[in-house]
Structure formats: C-alpha cells, structure tokens
C-alpha cells in the first residue's frame, strides 16, 4: 500500500512539475510576443490574416505553415523593408501569386485603381501561367503598352534587365509602375517566342471604365457598352449608360468585355444584377467548402437581346459577368476563350501604409463550371484581328455582333408580324 501511495505521490509531483514548466513556458511566450518589435509584429499580423482567411487551409499542413511563422520570426528583421521581404518569403510556399504583400506604393495604386479613374504606369494587367511565367492578361486602352503593340498573351521576360522569374508577379508589376515621365525598359516574348524590347514612358492613364454609344443601322438601333474594368463607380455608371441608351430607344445591346481584366468582384456582380431578373449570378466556394449562390434582383435596367464580346484578356470579375449571362441564356458570348482567373481576393490594411491581398474564395458559374485555369468558351468564336480602337468603325468584332443582333431583331419582328396575322384570322 505504501508502495502504491509513493507511486501516486511521485505521479502527482511530476504532473505538478510539468504544469509549472508549461505555465512558465507560456509566460515566456507571452513575454516574447509582447516584446516583438514593430517590424516583427508586422510579419506576425500578415501571417495571422492569411491563416484566418486563405481559401485552402489544407495547404497549411503540406507546407508546415506554423513552422514557417516560427522560423520567420526567428530571423533578424529590423527594417520595414526587411519585414516586407520576410512576408514575401513566408507566402511563397503557398504558390498563390494573388496572395501577396503590397508595399505602400503598390497598396495606394491598387486602391486608386479600384476607386479612382486614373493610374500611373505603362498600362499592363498581369497574371501568371502554369509555369510561373509573368503573362500579360490585357493592356489598358490608350496606355503606353497598348501603343507599343504589347498584347494579351505576351510574356514579360525582363524589367530593367531583371528577369521576371526572379522578381515574381507582384514585384514585376511594381517595377512597371512609377512616376509619370520616367521610363522603364521591358523585354517581351510573344506566344510564338519572338523577343522584343520596349523603352516605355510611364504616364497617367485615364481608365474611363465605362464607355457607350449608339450604333445606327438600316432598320435597327443598337447600343454599344464597353466596360474596361470593374472599379467601385462602375455599377452606377453602367446604370446611367443603360438609361441613356434606353432613352435613345436602342433595341439591342453589345456588351464589350474585351481586355477587361477584372477589378472589384462586387462591381461585376452588381452589373450582372442590372441585366438579369431573379437568376443566379455566381457561386462562391470558401475555405469551408460552402457554395453560396448569389441571386439577382427582379428589376433589370435592360431586358432586350444582347451579345457579349470576350477575349483572352477577359478575366476575373468580367468572367463572372460573362459566365452569368451565358449560363442564364441572357446573352451569347462571341470572341475567344477567356483568361481563366476564378479566385477572389480580399484586400486588407497592414500597418499604416501597406496592405495584403489574400485569396479567400473561388467562384463558379451558375451551372457550376470552374473558371480557374479553364476560362469560358464563347458560343461563337471570332477568328478576326483586333481593332486598333475598340468600338471604332474598323472594329470587325463589333460589326459581327451587330449583324447577329440584327438577325435576332428581324426574327423577333417576323415572329410578331406572324402572330398579329394569326390573331386577325381568328373570328369571334
């Protein structure tokens, strides 16, 4: 009995000692967290935001995410720039180019492009292909890049002599931006492998996200609506444009989403809401695997026949809009297969001036089609050269859309006339 009592006493003593040790370690950890420098706190804040929001938490186990935090905080991080570099290194194993640190200049620029009407740079919207090569999604209209002849599908090889593979997507984009009047040397590779070099002068590019006009034909009036990106102001501007076109009594609408690389997903969904009536717009899949279908309101701003133009520069929020119109048979799509960016980012402030973009969800079209890496296949392919200016008289894509809409309107007219004749033939 004494032996059992002694064993129990020894066990209790060990447990008490263990609790004291654990408690002491916890106190040390708390002290260490409290003692973190501002620069290391920046790193820890970034890790926490990603840990709480990243859409694919299974990836954390594969890359030992908590160990990455521990190893990163053990580094000597004394300056803000060292903190930014440490965060970049920390995020790299996630292999998601869209989850990234935004230094003050890039953070301010991204906010201004989402909420403002001008941007300083060369006018390139960039992404990554499967081989991690930096690829041109689209060029902004009237930008130095567009005037130089850089097109969707080109690859950025070097910026000011530094290989883009070494820079990565975020830093490549950052080096292309800058003060108006300054120059940047860009080496480009076409999809066929042809290498070209451009000395581009950065300048302020007027985004003008919504452009519209009326196209007169022999017997029909058609509206043309071009959306170049989805910033905060776009839904209201689209409402105003559609109202203006309705006052001009347009019978059909050409929606031009070519080289629209996206922007605010909420803006793309709001525009879809203006064109659909109580129909699904998009499904989102978050880290819990939940799919939430977003349904449009009953009222629409335009309910006439439509054609939507898309190309390989149509990406992200514009793919949400195009996919919703196609799946609900609201509009046929004409052009090329779209880019295939089906991930949604959340933008968060990090410190006073910087930010972090985190991929928080993926999206599917109303019929459940995954856009990420796949793109959207148009109903009708157009194997035609791009116009020098979208919507101009020499734009053959718009001309094809016009002819298609005219045929639809003629069929509707003939059907209405046939119906009226049938009604006249019915005697009471």
Query: CA-to-CA distance for 221 and 89, rounded, in angstroms?
Result: 56
The single residue of 231, 316, 318, 362 carrying the catalytic annotation is 316
* Cβ-defined contacts of 393-396 (< 8 Å, 24+): none
Residue found by looking up tokens 């290989």 in the block: 163
Q: From CA 134, how far away is CA 154, in angstroms rounded?
A: 9
- Catalytic residue of the set 40, 113, 341, 395: 341
Question: What is the phi/psi pair of residue 410, to 5°?
Answer: -65, -40
d(CA 111, CA 407): 43
Catalytic residue among 45, 106, 154, 327: 327
Q: Does the annotation mark 327 as catalytic?
A: yes
Strand partners, 124: 139
3-class secondary structure, 241: helix
Q: Residue 143 has what DSSP assignment?
A: S
- What per-residue string of b and e applies to 233-270 under the rule 16 or more CB within 10 Å gives b? bbbebbbebbeebeeeebbbbbbbbbbbbbbbbebbbb
Structure tokens at 292: 């939430």
Strands 183-189 and 162-163: unpaired
CA distance 270 to 42: 35
Q: What is the CA radius of gyration of the chain?
A: 27
318 is catalytic: no
Give which of 308, 317, 242 is closest to 274, Cα–Cα. 242
DSSP string, 270-330: HHHHHH-SS-EEEEEE-TT--EEEEE--S--S--S-EEEEE-TT--THHHHHHHHHHHTTS
Whether 354 and 101 have beta carbons less than 8 Å apart is answered as yes
b/e burial code for range 90-108 (CB count within 10 A of at least 16 → b):
bbeebebbbbbbbbeebbe
341 a catalytic residue: yes
Catalytic center residues? 316, 327, 341
């Amino acid at each position: 009995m004494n032996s059992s009592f002694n064993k129990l006493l020894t066990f209790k003593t060990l447990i008490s000692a263990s609790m004291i040790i654990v408690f002491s370690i916890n106190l040390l950890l708390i002290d260490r967290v409290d003692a973190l420098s501002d620069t290391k706190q920046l790193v820890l804040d970034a890790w926490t935001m990603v840990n709480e929001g990243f859409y694919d938490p299974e990836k954390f186990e594969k890359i030992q995410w908590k160990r990455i935090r521990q190893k990163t905080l053990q580094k000597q991080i004394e300056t803000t720039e060292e903190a930014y570099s440490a965060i970049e290194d920390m995020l790299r194993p996630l292999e998601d180019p869209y989850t990234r640190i935004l230094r003050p200049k890039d953070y301010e620029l991204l906010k201004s492009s989402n909420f403002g009407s001008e941007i300083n740079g060369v006018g390139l919207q960039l992404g990554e292909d499967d081989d991690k090569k930096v690829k041109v999604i689209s060029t902004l209209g009237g930008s130095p890049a567009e005037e130089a002849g850089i097109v969707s599908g080109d690859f950025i090889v070097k910026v000011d002599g530094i290989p883009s593979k070494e820079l990565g997507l975020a830093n490549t984009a950052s080096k292309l931006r800058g003060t108006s009047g300054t120059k940047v040397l860009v080496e480009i590779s076409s999809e066929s492998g042809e290498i070209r070099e451009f000395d581009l002068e950065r300048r302020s590019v007027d985004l003008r996200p919504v452009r519209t006009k009326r196209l007169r034909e022999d017997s029909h009036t058609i509206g043309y609506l071009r959306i170049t990106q989805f910033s905060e102001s776009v839904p209201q501007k689209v409402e105003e444009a559609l109202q203006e076109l309705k006052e001009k009594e347009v019978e059909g609408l050409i929606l031009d989403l070519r080289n629209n690389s996206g922007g605010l997903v909420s803006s793309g969904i709001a525009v879809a809401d203006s064109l659909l009536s109580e129909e699904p717009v998009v499904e989102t899949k978050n880290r819990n695997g939940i799919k939430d279908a977003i349904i449009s309101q009953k009222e629409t701003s335009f309910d006439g026949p439509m054609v939507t133009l898309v190309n390989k520069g149509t990406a992200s929020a514009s793919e949400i809009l195009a996919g919703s119109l196609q799946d609900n048979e609201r509009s046929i799509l004409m052009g090329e297969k779209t880019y295939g960016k089906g991930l949604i980012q959340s933008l968060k402030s990090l410190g006073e001036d910087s930010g972090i973009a985190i991929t928080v969800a993926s999206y599917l079209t109303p019929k459940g089609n995954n856009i990420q890496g796949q793109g959207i296949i148009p109903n009708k392919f157009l194997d035609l050269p791009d116009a020098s200016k979208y919507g101009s008289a020499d734009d053959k894509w718009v001309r094809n859309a016009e002819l298609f809409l005219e045929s639809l309107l003629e069929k509707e007219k003939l059907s209405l006339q046939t119906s009226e004749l049938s009604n006249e033939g019915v005697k009471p």
